[in-house]
């Protein structure tokens, strides 16, 4: 966790701090959404303000990068999806867009290792460059 | 064999046999699959190696195991499989053009296989074990042959008791693609465990670093694949026995000739006693 009162955090490169912060925002969103869904699925009235605000936090965390990477049209598309999301469906759709961006940035992409069939010796040899 | 039975053969599979000596692999759902020669796991591993040969990359596989574990039997089946892939008949045990016992014979038959358009050759080492110096010469010859035989498009099946006897240089050439360790043979089937070149290199490294003794270097590693193989049919089994016996007689005669020569006696002493004259 990023803690600016901690010397370890202060000593970390800014890139790593930013990456961890984004992951933390994403985790917070999913946690809030889980809490929200748990209530609504039990037919308990539940406002989605916490989920919305955490979605916006995630967007704000990544906003600078979006602005730099995309042209105005694409940037506005993501921004509007986040800021104008009112209903549950809008929130989910906006999160999907942000999540795909995280995947493109290799922040949440974990399946980047080539699948090797270890039961074929030649495959293992090739994987080892032999 | 009279009657039938079953035994755990591969991971998740049982192996069964019936009164006609037919061998089957039975999966957990009870489906039977007859084994004609060896398990599909070995075929799946041989196919990429055959593909390599077709592309002009020299390739070899090693079959190692103790005495009587069926090394030559499996080697014959492997070469039969290679022949079938190239639309050729089973290898002949009469003419023995695809089996070489000893370094000198290997060199001659490798060229002969190329000329005859054959794509598999067994290199049975049994003729080469007479001392450490001879093994070195064996390794040197083998190394030189593997450097030049790329265009021959022949898969060499090296048969020997332990792959650790081979020279490190052979592994640096990336010619050996995988090794099969044989164990637990009985009257109707043998068991093999397959190890990739990568694993064999690590095994050699572990030996060099003193982490493991040579005899157990592969036993401590998990194999890439396992499987079973059947005995060859009775007629070929007799021919194989005769072939093996002939090779042993030849070696015995050579050893007798060597021991008659005083110079050879000194050489052998130097080999066995580390060059110290006793």
Using the structure block, give the residue that is written with the tokens 């080469």: B128
In angstroms, the separation between the Cα of residue B13 and the nearest Cα of chain A is 15
Bigger pLDDT: A54 vs B169: A54
Cβ-defined contact of A128 to B198 (cutoff 8 Å): yes
Q: Across chain A, which distance is largest between two alpha carbons, in Å?
A: 61
Contact between chains at B196 and A119 (C-beta distance less than 8 A):
no
Q: Does one domain contain both B54 and B179?
A: yes
- Measured between CA atoms, the residue of chain A closest to residue B195 is A121
Is A16 near chain B, with CB under 8 Å?
Answer: no
Instruction: Starting at the earlier edge strand, list the strands of the sheet with B189-196.
Output: B99-101, B120-124, B155-160, B59-64, B176-183, B189-196, B225-230
* Residue A2 is assigned to a structural domain of this protein: no
Would strands B176-183 and B59-64 be described as parallel, antiparallel, or unpaired?
A: parallel
Instruction: Indicate whether B190 and B84 sit together in one domain.
Output: yes
pTM over 0.90: no
The Cα–Cα gap between B270 and B278 comes to 9
The torsion of the CA quartet A102, A105, A106, A112, rounded to 10 degrees, works out to: 110
Per-residue pLDDT at A114 exceeds 60: yes
Chain A CB contacts of B48 under 8 Å are 120, 122-123
Residue with tokens 């800021």: A83
- Whose tokens are 């035989």? That residue is B149
Mutation target for B interface from A116, A117, A122, A129: give the one with most B CBs within 10 A: A122
Q: What is the mean pLDDT of chain A?
A: 91
Q: Which two tokens stand for residue B228?
A: 């079973």
Chain B partners within 8 Å of A116 (Cβ)? none
Domain of residue B114 covers 37-271
Distance, CA of B103 to CA of B90 (rounded, Å): 24
ipTM for this model: 0.75
Chain B residues inside the 8 Å CB shell of A119: 41, 44, 224-225
Contact across the interface for A120 and B48, Cβ inside 8 Å: yes
- In whole angstroms, give the CA distance from residue B5 to residue B186: 13
What is the C-alpha to C-alpha distance for residues B57 and B51, in angstroms, rounded to an integer?
9
**pLDDT digits (tens), chain B, 278 positions:** 445 555 555 555 556 655 555 666 666 555 666 677 888 889 999 999 999 998 888 899 999 988 888 898 999 999 999 999 999 988 888 788 898 887 778 888 888 998 999 999 998 865 454 445 555 666 677 677 777 887 788 999 999 888 887 777 778 888 899 999 998 887 778 889 999 999 999 998 888 888 888 878 887 788 999 888 888 777 788 888 887 777 777 767 777 877 776 655 555 555 544 444 44
Q: Which two tokens stand for residue A129?
A: 């460059």
Mutation choice for B interface testing from A117, A119, A121, A126 by most B CBs within 10 A: A121
Domain identity same for B28 and B98 = no
**Residues B29 and B90 occupy one common structural domain:** no
Chain A residue numbers with beta carbons less than 8 Å from the beta carbon of B49 are: 122
Test A123 with B41 for CB contact under 8 angstroms.
Answer: no
Count Cβ atoms within 10 A of the Cβ of residue B261 and give its class: 0-12 exposed, 13-18 middle, 19 or more buried: exposed
Q: How far apart are CA B126 and CA B102, in angstroms?
A: 7
Give the C-alpha separation, B246 to B145, whole Å. 25
HSE of B105, CA atoms in CB hemisphere, 13 A: 18
Which residues make beta-bridge pairs with B230?
A: B189
At residue B276, the pLDDT reads 45
- List the domain range (segments joined by +) for residue A86: 7-127
Parallel, antiparallel, or unpaired: how do β-strands B155-160 and B13-17 relate?
Answer: unpaired
In 3D space, the residue among B131, B135, B126, B132 whose CA is nearest the CA of residue B160 turns out to be B126
| B276 located within any domain | no
Residue of B nearest to A127 (CA): B198
Residues 6 or more apart whose Cβ sits within 8 Å of residue A104: none
Contacts across the A-B interface (CB distance below 8 Å): 45
The answer to the question of residue A116 being in a domain is yes
Number of structural domains chain B divides into: 2
- B241 and B216 co-located in one domain: yes
Nearest CA to B111 out of B166, B158, B156 is that of B156
Of A120, A127, A130, the CB nearest to B174: A130
B197–A123 C-beta distance less than 8 A:
no
Q: How many domains does chain A have?
A: 1
If asked whether residues B30 and B41 sit together in one domain, one would say no
Residue of chain A nearest B174, judged by CA positions: A130
Considering the domain architecture, whether residues B5 and B65 belong to the same structural domain is answered as no
């Amino acid at each position: 966790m990023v803690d600016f009162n901690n010397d370890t955090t202060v000593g970390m490169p800014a890139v790593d701090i930013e990456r961890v912060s984004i992951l933390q925002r994403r985790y917070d969103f999913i946690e809030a959404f889980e809490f929200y869904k748990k209530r609504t699925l039990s037919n308990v009235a539940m406002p989605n303000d916490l989920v919305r605000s955490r979605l916006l936090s995630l967007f704000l965390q990544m906003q600078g990068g979006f602005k730099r990477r995309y042209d105005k049209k694409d940037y506005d598309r993501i921004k509007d999806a986040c800021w104008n999301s009112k209903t549950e469906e809008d929130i989910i759709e906006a999160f999907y867009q942000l999540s795909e961006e995280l995947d493109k940035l290799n922040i949440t992409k974990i399946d980047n290792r080539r699948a090797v069939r270890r039961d074929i010796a030649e495959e293992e040899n090739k994987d080892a460059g032999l | 064999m009279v009657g039938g039975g079953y035994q755990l053969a591969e991971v998740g599979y049982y192996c069964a046999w019936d009164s006609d000596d037919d061998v089957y692999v039975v999966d957990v759902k009870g489906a039977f699959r007859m084994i004609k020669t060896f398990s599909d796991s070995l075929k799946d591993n041989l196919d990429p190696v055959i593909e390599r040969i077709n592309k002009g990359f020299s390739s070899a596989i090693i079959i190692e195991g103790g005495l009587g574990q069926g090394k030559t039997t499996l080697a014959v089946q492997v070469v039969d499989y290679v022949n079938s892939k190239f639309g050729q008949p089973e290898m002949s045990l009469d003419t023995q053009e695809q089996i070489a016992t000893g370094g000198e014979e290997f060199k001659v038959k490798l060229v002969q296989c190329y000329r005859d358009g054959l794509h598999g050759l067994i290199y049975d080492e049994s003729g080469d074990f007479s001392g450490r110096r001879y093994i070195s010469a064996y390794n040197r010859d083998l190394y030189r042959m593997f450097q030049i035989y790329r265009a021959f498009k022949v898969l060499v099946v090296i048969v020997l008791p332990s792959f650790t006897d081979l020279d490190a240089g052979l592994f640096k050439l990336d010619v050996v693609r995988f090794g099969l360790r044989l164990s637990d043979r009985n009257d109707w089937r043998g068991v093999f465990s397959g190890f990739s070149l990568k694993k064999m290199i690590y095994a050699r490294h572990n030996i060099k670093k003193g982490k493991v003794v040579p005899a157990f270097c592969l036993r401590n590693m998990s194999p890439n694949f396992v499987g079973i193989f059947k005995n060859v049919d009775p007629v070929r089994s007799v021919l194989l026995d005769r072939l093996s016996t002939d090779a042993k007689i030849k070696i015995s005669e050579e050893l007798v000739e060597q021991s008659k020569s005083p110079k050879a006696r000194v050489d052998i002493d130097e080999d066995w006693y580390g060059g110290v004259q006793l």
